Amino acid sequence: MEYTGNLWEKYISEEERQKKKKEKKLEDKRWAVVSIASIPLVMTLGNSMLIPVLPTMEKELDITPFQSSLIITVYSVVAIIFIPIAGYLSDRWGRKKVIIPCLLLAAIGGVISAFTAWQLQNAYWLILIGRTLQGIGAAGAFPIVLPLIGDMFHSEDKVSSSLGIIETANTLGKVLSPILGALFASVIWFLPFLAIPVFCTISVLMMAFLVKSPKVVKGSNLKEFLRKTKKIYKHNRRWLKSIFLIGGILMFILFGVLFYLSSVLESKYGVGNIKKGFILAIPLGALCIASYIAGKAIKENKSLMKWVTFIGLILLAISTLVLSLFESLWLLIGLFVIGGIGIGIGLPCLDSLITSGIEEDFRGTISSIYSSMRFIGVALGPPIIALLMKKSNLFIFYLLGGLAVLCALVCLFGIKPNKPDVS
């Protein structure tokens, strides 16, 4: 009996040990997701935090609104060029080996921008160089997050919910950006540049110590890899092209609207500084909450992902088209809230469709193309809206509403989950 008792105790202790091991593994993954989520948060802060400060920069640097918009645009243009390279390298070398050096490069770019703004009288062009380095850093940071999440989890349910957290963090960065940007700038106008290296350093430490990136098995050479990537893209081109287009246009609308709001709040409604930051945060907060809820709700249901995206695009189209009818500030904000919800529920769905629909070895490369399209939208939004504001605000709303309608049609006819792509 004593022997049987010892065996039972041994069995129980082993069972408890396995249970604790599983719980620790789960806890580690939670912290890993939080650490990974810090990257889109930091990268978004690094860019969007400057939007409410642009009117101040125009005065301090003696530049035009179009020139100030290039401070946002150059970051995105450079990122567009380097994102596919970073995606390929992450597939070959591993996600962390690309992410961490790129975060450090973004930090260096922030230091250069802040130092030149502080020390030099004609700092504009050197600020653009600093922003260029930040853009290269961003190319190898945020876009690599999506495939990394896909690598870490085997369950599509956990992938989609984790991607919801990632998009929530991305949007939270946009919510905090106008507030922090305005707050920092109220102390010293170039302080937002200096905050970027601090945030990047925190993210680097979290990635280094809390994230265990899955091992990468090096496959074929570059030529063979490109051949296989082309084959995968060709096989999935209809729905991939649809997602790429929608992702790019959503970012164009979002950053175009943010630039427009930042400008008109100050010039038309006399709202500036921190108050402006809080007002800009209202529609972005709605976007953030919507992203989190959508990421939790869609689970593994690809059909649901499509229809949630479609509903979001319809909400966005209605809100932007109706904007042309009103001039009241709070009606303006209210309609932007509806549009923000539309964008917020769509983004996690697009992310999940990409990560769950592409095999692991090529996930980084395909995700990077998608991220490039998003950055194209970010790059084009502010300068195009800046040029259109000189002519007609009505045309801006008609353009944005029309683009949202186009995206809804593309989503309806171009994304067909669980059906072979024969185009």
221 in a structural domain: no
pLDDT at 422 over 60: no
Burial of 222 (0-12, 13-18, 19+ CB in 10 A): exposed
253 in a structural domain: yes
Residue 4 to residue 217: CA distance in whole angstroms: 46
Burial of 260 (0-12, 13-18, 19+ CB in 10 A): buried
pLDDT score, position 228: 65
Q: What is the 3-state secondary structure (H, E, C) of 18-74?
A: HHHHHHHHHHHHHHHHHHHHHHHHHHHHHHHCCHHHHHHHHHHHCCCHHHHHHHHHH
Residue 364 to residue 103: CA distance in whole angstroms: 17
pLDDT at 33 over 60: yes
- pLDDT classification of 200: cutoffs 50, 70, 90: very high
Residue 180, domain extent: 2-210+227-414
Give per-residue burial for 345-376: e unless 16+ CB within 10 Å, then b. Answer: bbbbbbbbbbbbbbeebbbbbbbbbbbbbbbb
216 in a structural domain: no
pLDDT score, position 68: 84
pLDDT score, position 362: 66
219 in a structural domain: no
Mean confidence (pLDDT) of the chain: 81
Closest residue by Cα to residue 203 from 142, 156, 152, 257: 142
Q: Report percent pLDDT > 70 for the chain.
A: 83
402 in a structural domain: yes
Q: How many domains does the chain have?
A: 1
- pLDDT classification of 107: cutoffs 50, 70, 90: very high
Asked if residues 221 and 346 have their Cβ atoms less than 8 Å apart, the reply is no
DSSP 8-state code for residue 269: S
Q: Report percent pLDDT > 90 for the chain.
A: 19
220 in a structural domain: no
Q: Which of 112-126, 270-284, 395-409 has the lowest mean pLDDT?
A: 270-284
| Tally of CB atoms within 10 A around 237 | 13
305 in a structural domain: yes
pLDDT digits (tens, 9 = 90+) for 217-249: 555 556 665 666 677 667 667 788 899 999 999
85 in a structural domain: yes
Asked if residues 355 and 163 have their Cβ atoms less than 8 Å apart, the reply is yes
Query: Looking at residue 284, which CATH number applies to its domain?
Result: 1.20.1250.20
pLDDT at 17 over 70: no
